[in-house]
Chains A and B, each alone.
Chain A
Amino acid sequence: EPEVTQTPSHQVTQMGQEVILRCVPISNHLYFYWYRQILGQKVEFLVSFYNNEISEKSEIFDDQFSVERPDGSNFTLKIRSTKLEDSAMYFCASRVLLQETQYFGPGTRLLVL
């Protein structure tokens, strides 16, 4: 069964460094999402992406964040200058055009020191 994959599974970085989290959505899916989950807290929507552009973003998704689909398969989340409070699990999700069901990747655990 096709799955959303994410790399790396864990990343440790120093405050102020840039990180890029990578996702490979399911191949026939057209909508892509990033979520984060701070330890012990709820899953929070960051951004949705369709047709090579951001379709909606939350208040969390400020200028420090950007997303890109650099080729036909990868979907990336870049955090330009990480802060301690960016430490969280980051999930990528994707879905097909006419269905709401999103399929989640296994997540990247980001730790900012």
Chain B
Amino acid sequence: EDKVVQSPLSLVVHEGDTVTLNCSYEVTNFRSLLWYKQEKKAPTFLFMLTSSGIEKKSGRLSSILDKKELSSILNITATQTGDSAIYLCAVGGGYQKVTFGTGTKLQVIP
């Protein structure tokens, strides 16, 4: 059975801190790893990773995939209160199936 595990489950930090969120996976026929941010409702896309070792960046967020370790990290630098959300890691495996982790709930306090 495909599995995606995220850690930590939740995290409280102060504005300006840097955080690292972890995702590890075991899936059949890995296709890609995606990070999403979920605030009130629908997940919104952050990054898609398919190749090991290539960092993707968007502003203060960055992510990298390690296919040897079957894992990925999402970094957020200089956190802001608007970064408070649940961060979801999802892995595409099999033919079309996508398996989500339980998410990391990040709370950034002023």
**What DSSP secondary structure best describes chain A's contact surface?**
strand
Residues of A within 8 A of B96 (CB): 31, 33, 48, 50, 55-56
Stretch from B16-24, B36-44, B63-71 at the A interface: B36-44
A107 within 8 Å of B by Cβ?
Answer: yes
Minimum Cβ distance to chain A for residue B110 (Å): 26
Minimum Cβ distance to chain B for residue A54 (Å): 9
Q: How many A-B residue pairs have CB under 8 A?
A: 57
In the complex, which residues of chain A have a beta carbon less than 8 angstroms from the beta carbon of B101? 42
CB distance from A102 to the nearest CB of B (A): 7
Residue of B nearest to A40 (CB): B102
Residues of chain B whose beta carbon lies under 8 Å from any beta carbon of chain A: 31-32, 34, 36, 41-45, 48, 50, 88, 90, 92, 94-103
New contact pairs (10) apart from A58-B97, A107-B42, CB-CB < 8 Å: A43-B43, A48-B96, A48-B97, A56-B97, A100-B34, A100-B48, A102-B98, A103-B45, A105-B42, A106-B42
Q: What 3 A-B pairs have minimum CB-CB distances, sorted nearest first?
A: A48-B96, A100-B32, A56-B96
Which residues in A have some Cβ–Cβ distance to B below 8 Å? 31, 33, 35, 41-45, 48, 50, 55-56, 58, 89, 91, 99-107
